Amino acid sequence: MTATARSAKAAPPSAAPQSELHLKMLRQMLLIRRFEEKAAEAYALGKIGGFCHLYIGQEAVAVGALAALRDDDYVICS
């Protein structure tokens, strides 16, 4: 069976929840990116003082790390 023939088959029933998870993660990454872009814009306009260290390009790190957490895990940031 060729790769094309395999990909043409319907996804297994377990793929739907995975697809929903992936879409949720993509939305989270896009939300972080848009926030970062607005933060950069506000910093450039002098609306944010000090130093603004942007996270652009690393959104998947945050989303993936948080997606792997269990309910009894703790998160501490600095």
d(CA 28, CA 36): 12
Predicted confidence (pLDDT) per residue in 8-63, tens digit: 566 666 667 788 999 999 999 999 999 999 999 999 999 999 999 999 999 999 99
Residues 6+ apart with CB under 8 A from 6: none
* Bigger pLDDT: 37 vs 4: 37
